[in-house]
């Protein structure tokens, strides 16, 4: 199994001290990040959440994107990291792509990729009993990571995790 991850997921989970959840989700998989994500998180993000965690994570591999032309085409709609994530996922035949930004997620899905984001990972972790409360993690994302979650998405995540009943 191959999983390709964007920077927002790495940064958000690191900011709330939950990068280990990603490692557990990828136990039977290869987790790849393109060079643009490495640069954004580790080099440009030096001293920020995720930089040291990602730099020292031996379970994260850097993947080389072959088609820079495909990346350039996507740059009209996405940032460099998102574009490289989608192209790398296509080139490697990824089973899962980890993206948070709406436009990137929608484009990846239109291209036939299976997509999961930070909130989806937290819902998975709650179902696997790896975290006690998704509400605590969502609040931490908002407060510590500056992660924007719409009220509707917040409520939907609580419902899916079984923490909010209609």
- Which mean pLDDT values do the consecutive 10-residue runs of the chain (166 residues) have? 95 94 90 96 90 92 95 94 97 96 96 96 95 94 90 93 78
**Nearest CA-CA partner of 21 in 5, 34, 41, 40:** 5
Give the separation between CA 24 and CA 8, rounded to whole angstroms.
18
For the chain, the structural domain boundaries read 2-117, 119-160
14 contacts: CB under 8 Å, gap ≥ 6: 49, 50, 53, 54
Provide the pLDDT for residue 115.
97
pTM of the model: 0.92
Would you call 148 helix, strand, or coil by DSSP?
coil
CATH topology of domain 2-117: Rossmann fold (3.40.50)
How high is the pLDDT of residue 101?
Answer: 93
């Amino acid at each position: 199994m191959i999983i390709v991850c964007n920077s927002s997921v790495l940064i958000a989970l690191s900011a709330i001290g939950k990068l280990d959840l990603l490692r557990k989700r990828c136990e039977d998989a290869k987790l790849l990040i393109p060079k643009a994500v490495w640069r954004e998180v580790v080099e440009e993000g030096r001293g920020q959440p995720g930089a040291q965690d990602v730099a020292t994570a031996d379970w994260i591999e850097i993947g080389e994107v072959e088609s820079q032309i495909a990346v350039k085409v996507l740059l009209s709609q996405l940032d460099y990291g998102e574009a490289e994530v989608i192209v790398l996922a296509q080139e490697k035949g990824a089973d899962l792509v980890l993206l948070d930004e709406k436009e990137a997620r929608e484009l990846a899905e239109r291209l036939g990729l299976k997509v999961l984001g930070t909130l989806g990972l937290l819902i998975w972790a709650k179902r696997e009993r790896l975290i006690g409360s998704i509400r605590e993690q969502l609040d931490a994302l908002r407060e510590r990571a500056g992660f924007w979650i719409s009220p509707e998405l917040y409520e939907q995540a609580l419902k899916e995790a079984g923490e909010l009943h209609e």
